């Protein structure tokens, strides 16, 4: 116990005054004996004894009353357990990731945490608070309350290493003790085991515990097959727990329902489904499910733009290539045939598919351009002539890391073997046939390595694939083969052409530095906007020839469907979705250590801090004791005879 006014304790010496007075009043009486009043003497003796006891009791109560009054004026107190606790610099992290959409005992976890925080914010103290996407530095309770009431969920979340760095930034100028209050559900993807154990920071964890950890999520969607007006959408779903009942999955274009089905998870916690959609364009695609847990992963936004025709460049040398242009026709293909000596290299470099039709040799300039095209994933189809310059061809093929030509064989051989599992032939036949009108060749080259698609009866390759190059081993002119008359030629070349279809991303993830390329020429002072019904962003952009590269770095784009507009005209549709990492609902609350404490709720933390930082004042207790002793003295004087 300590005193705020210890000098007043010297007044205790003054207690000797009432004691001296009292002793003076208790001086001894002279005895006088009376022979005939024996009974009266007895009464007087008894009265003297009771009077003496009464005076001693009154003295004690007075002395105690004066003593506790002196103590009260000296203001005694018990010092605070942690006097610096209340004055420490505090930073609050409020987890606003999508996993906080889960429902707890008091409703949605984030909403309950915000209300609890508003209720317990200290009124006369400035506090810094940060979330996954916002920082609020040294705000009073009133301003912080306003910000909390407008708080929304973050599209992306950070791990604890990132949170610690942000904490250190907020507290870098502080010289006092540092308290970091973490209000979160402590999902596993936050890596809470990385919680820093820095000795100068005290961590106070306030777990937000969900009541239900069952959640169904739409994880992704992609195109498994696409033709001019028909697409096959593949949707992947997952569940955090076993689901016994079927789940309805719907595909919309805005508010228009395109398709609907139901999926079963059975024993697996992952499943998939497919939709065949007849549509050339879906600008506002949405895939939806019904699930009572997290809301954000019940929808997945996507955009499907009209296919741009594949730009096909056919380079030939004194050979008819019109059969190729009759197969690769609009609207899927835009085909142009060049003689080798009239080749337009600008058109070649803008091509999506290149076909070398029976060239005798490959020049150095052509080899250089084809090598650059391969770096941009442009497929190449090579049909050799019957008399090629193997050195020039093999130099090209080696630079492309493709199969190379070896010896020429001049013997008739049948084309009999088909790789039915190869993507070029997957949907060509209703069933695997083993006997049909086999085409044949008169001469062909041996090819080293490569994946065989179509083979001769001796199991050597007629059509091979390697590293984006489709390579025929024989010339396809009518003098060398009747393959042009075979029903195989149309699906084979058509499917090879489809490999050049540039299917853009159906959607992009928020929070990432996405780079989007569109075919557009812009003026120097004009920019492209990312536009929705409520938002308008100007992204980073740069011109690359006839294309424009757009970067979403630094933009806080919410999940949804958008359009890229230039001069108020739509150029293409794009969509964004949040990463699905918050859908797992796996938790890991760190254990208590010397500088890591766990509290049941926000109110209990602030109450503990307040109690630890406050001293216990005792002067009121001493005043109460003084009143008690005063009352006791009055009762003694009145009732004790």
Query: Alpha-carbon distance 170 to 95, whole Å?
Result: 17
Query: Residue 366: pLDDT above 70?
Result: yes
Neighbours of 601 (CB within 10 A): 18
Q: What is Dmax (Cα atoms) for the chain?
A: 171
Query: Residue 422: pLDDT above 80?
Result: yes
pLDDT band of 84, cuts 50, 70, 90: low
The mean pLDDT value for 621-633 works out to 81
Q: What is the pLDDT of residue 268?
A: 66
Q: What is the pLDDT of residue 399?
A: 94
Query: Residue 34: pLDDT above 80?
Result: no
Query: Alpha-carbon distance 217 to 241, whole Å?
Result: 11
Q: Which tokens is 91 given? A: 């930073």
Strands 201-207 and 596-598, bridge-based pairing = parallel
Closest CA to 584 of 107, 182, 210: 210
Sheet strand arrangement including 231-239: 216-226, 231-239, 270-277
Contacts of 57 (CB under 8 A, 6+ apart): 636, 640
**All domains in the chain, ordered by first residue:** 2-79+617-639 (no CATH), 89-212+585-614 (3.40.50.410), 310-498 (3.40.50.880), 508-577 (2.60.40)
Q: What is the pLDDT of residue 42?
A: 53
Selection from 44-58, 61-75, 513-527 with the highest mean pLDDT? 513-527
Cβ-in-10-Å burial (0-12, 13-18, 19+) of 107 comes to: exposed
| pLDDT cut 90: percent of the chain above it | 44
**Residues 473 and 461 sit within 8 Å (Cβ to Cβ):** yes
CA distances from 54 to 64, 216, 230, 481, 634 (A): 15, 84, 111, 138, 12
Q: What is the pLDDT of residue 41?
A: 53
The mean pLDDT value for 564-585 works out to 92
Q: Which tokens is 288 given? A: 């939806």
Strands (E), 317-402: 333-339, 353-357, 380-383
Query: Alpha-carbon distance 236 to 221, whole Å?
Result: 6
Dihedral-angle region of residue 193 (phi above 0 means left; psi in -120 to 50 means alpha; beta otherwise) = alpha
Query: Alpha-carbon distance 381 to 310, whole Å?
Result: 14
Mean pLDDT of all residues belonging to the chain = 85
Query: Alpha-carbon distance 154 to 541, whole Å?
Result: 25
Could you read off the pLDDT of 92-115 as tens digits, one per residue? 999 999 999 999 888 999 999 999
What pairs with residue 617 in β-bridges?
77
Dihedral-angle region of residue 254 (phi above 0 means left; psi in -120 to 50 means alpha; beta otherwise) = left
The mean pLDDT value for 32-48 works out to 54
Q: What is the pLDDT of residue 10?
A: 73
| pLDDT cut 70: percent of the chain above it | 87
Closest CA to 151 of 94, 79, 105, 191: 94
**Residues 19 and 55 sit within 8 Å (Cβ to Cβ):** no
- Which has the minimum average pLDDT: 65-74, 133-142, 346-355, 398-407? 65-74
Query: Residue 30: pLDDT above 60?
Result: no
Q: Which residues of 294-306 are buried (b: 16+ CB within 10 A; e: fewer)?
A: bebbbebbbbbbe
Query: Alpha-carbon distance 609 to 524, whole Å?
Result: 59
Query: Residue 379: pLDDT above 90?
Result: yes
Could you read off the pLDDT of 240-299 as tens digits, one per residue? 887 878 899 999 999 999 999 999 887 668 899 999 988 778 999 999 999 888 999 999
Q: Which tokens is 173 given? A: 């100028």
Neighbours of 483 (CB within 10 A): 22
The sign of the CA dihedral 264, 267, 272, 273 is negative
Query: Residue 321: pLDDT above 90?
Result: yes
Output 44 or 67, whichever has higher pLDDT: 67
Could you read off the pLDDT of 190-209 as tens digits, one per residue? 876 656 555 567 888 999 98
Closest CA to 209 of 190, 186, 189: 186
pLDDT band of 356, cuts 50, 70, 90: very high
Alpha helix ranges (H) inside 433-581: 489-498
Angle (nearest 5°) at CA 504 between 488 and 506: 110
Strands (E), 388-438: 404-409, 413-418
How far out from the chain centre does Cα 477 lie? 57
Contacts of 351 (CB under 8 A, 6+ apart): 311, 312, 313, 373, 378
Query: Alpha-carbon distance 330 to 310, whole Å?
Result: 9
The mean pLDDT value for 526-539 works out to 92
Strands 127-130 and 508-509, bridge-based pairing = unpaired
- Which has the minimum average pLDDT: 159-173, 366-380, 465-479? 159-173
Could you read off the pLDDT of 488-520 as tens digits, one per residue? 899 999 999 988 887 778 999 998 889 888 888
Q: Which tokens is 179 given? A: 């308290």
Q: What is the pLDDT of residue 296?
A: 94
Q: Which tokens is 189 given? A: 């993807």
Q: What is the pLDDT of residue 112?
A: 93
Contacts of 34 (CB under 8 A, 6+ apart): 40, 41
Query: Alpha-carbon distance 505 to 302, whole Å?
Result: 9
pLDDT band of 314, cuts 50, 70, 90: very high
CA distances from 166 to 93, 176, 352 (A): 10, 18, 46
> What is the number of H-type helices and E-type strands within the chain?
12, 37
**Residues 528 and 517 sit within 8 Å (Cβ to Cβ):** no
Cβ-in-10-Å burial (0-12, 13-18, 19+) of 49 comes to: exposed
């Amino acid at each position: 116990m300590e005193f705020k006014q210890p000098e007043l304790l010297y007044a205790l010496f003054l207690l000797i005054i009432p004691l001296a007075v009292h002793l003076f009043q208790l001086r001894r009486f002279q005895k006088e004996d009376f022979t005939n009043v024996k009974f009266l003497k007895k009464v007087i003796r008894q009265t003297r004894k009771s009077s003496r006891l009464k005076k001693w009791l009154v003295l004690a109560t007075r002395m105690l009353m004066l003593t506790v009054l002196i103590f009260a004026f000296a203001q005694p107190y018990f010092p605070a357990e942690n006097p610096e606790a209340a004055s420490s610099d505090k930073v609050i992290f409020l987890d606003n990731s999508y996993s906080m959409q889960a429902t707890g005992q008091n409703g949605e976890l984030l909403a309950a945490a915000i209300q609890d925080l508003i209720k317990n914010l200290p009124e006369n103290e400035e506090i810094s608070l940060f979330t996954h996407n916002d920082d609020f530095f040294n705000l009073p309770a009133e301003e912080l309350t306003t910000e909390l009431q407008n708080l929304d969920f973050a599209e992306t979340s950070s791990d604890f290493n990132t949170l610690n760095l942000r904490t250190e930034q907020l507290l870098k100028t502080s010289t006092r003790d540092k308290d970091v209050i973490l209000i979160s559900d402590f999902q596993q993807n936050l890596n809470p085991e990385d919680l820093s154990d820095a000795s100068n920071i005290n961590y106070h964890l306030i777990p937000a515990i969900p009541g239900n950890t069952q959640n169904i999520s739409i994880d992704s969607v992609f195109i498994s097959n696409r033709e001019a007006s028909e697409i096959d959408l593949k949707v992947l779903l997952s569940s955090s727990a076993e689901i016994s009942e079927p789940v309805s999955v719907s595909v919309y274009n805005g508010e228009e329902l395109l398709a609907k089905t139901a999926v079963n998870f059975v024993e697996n916690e992952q499943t998939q489904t497919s939709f065949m959609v007849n549509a050339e364009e879906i600008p506002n695609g949405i895939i939806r499910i019904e699930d009572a847990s997290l809301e954000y992963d019940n929808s997945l936004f996507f955009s499907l733009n009209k296919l741009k025709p594949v730009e096909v460049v056919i380079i030939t040398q004194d050979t008819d290539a019109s059969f190729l242009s009759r197969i690769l026709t609009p609207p899927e293909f835009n085909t142009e045939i060049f003689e080798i000596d009239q080749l337009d290299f600008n058109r070649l470099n803008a091509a999506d598919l290149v076909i070398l039709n029976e060239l005798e040799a490959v020049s150095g300039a052509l080899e250089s351009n084809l090598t650059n095209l391969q770096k941009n994933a442009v497929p190449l189809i090579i049909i050799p002539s019957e008399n090629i310059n193997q050195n020039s061809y093999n130099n090209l093929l080696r630079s492309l890391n493709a199969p190379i030509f070896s010896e020429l064989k001049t013997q008739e051989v049948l084309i009999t073997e088909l790789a039915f599992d190869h993507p070029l032939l997957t949907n060509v036949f209703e069933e695997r046939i083993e006997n049909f009108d086999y085409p044949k060749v008169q001469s062909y080259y041996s090819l080293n390595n490569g994946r065989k698609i179509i083979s001769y009866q001796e199991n050597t390759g007629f059509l091979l694939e390697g590293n984006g190059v489709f390579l025929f081993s024989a010339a396809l002119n009518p003098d060398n083969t009747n393959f042009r008359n075979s029903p195989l030629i149309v699906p084979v070349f058509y499917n090879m052409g489809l490999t050049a279809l540039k299917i853009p991303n159906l959607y992009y993830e928020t929070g990432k530095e996405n780079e989007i390329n569109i075919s557009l020429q812009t003026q120097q002072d004009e920019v492209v906007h990312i536009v929705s019904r409520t938002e308008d962003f100007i992204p980073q952009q740069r011109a690359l020839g006839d294309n424009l590269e757009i970067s979403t770095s630094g933009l806080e784009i919410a999940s949804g469907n958008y359009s890229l507009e230039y001069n108020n005209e739509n150029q293409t549709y794009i969509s964004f979705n949040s990463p699905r990492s918050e859908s797992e609902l796996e938790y890991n609350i760190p254990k208590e250590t010397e500088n890591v404490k766990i509290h049941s709720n926000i109110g209990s933390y602030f109450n503990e801090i307040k109690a630890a930082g406050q001293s216990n004042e005792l002067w009121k207790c001493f005043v109460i004791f003084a009143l008690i002793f005063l009352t006791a003295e009055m009762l003694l004087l009145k009732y004790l005879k």
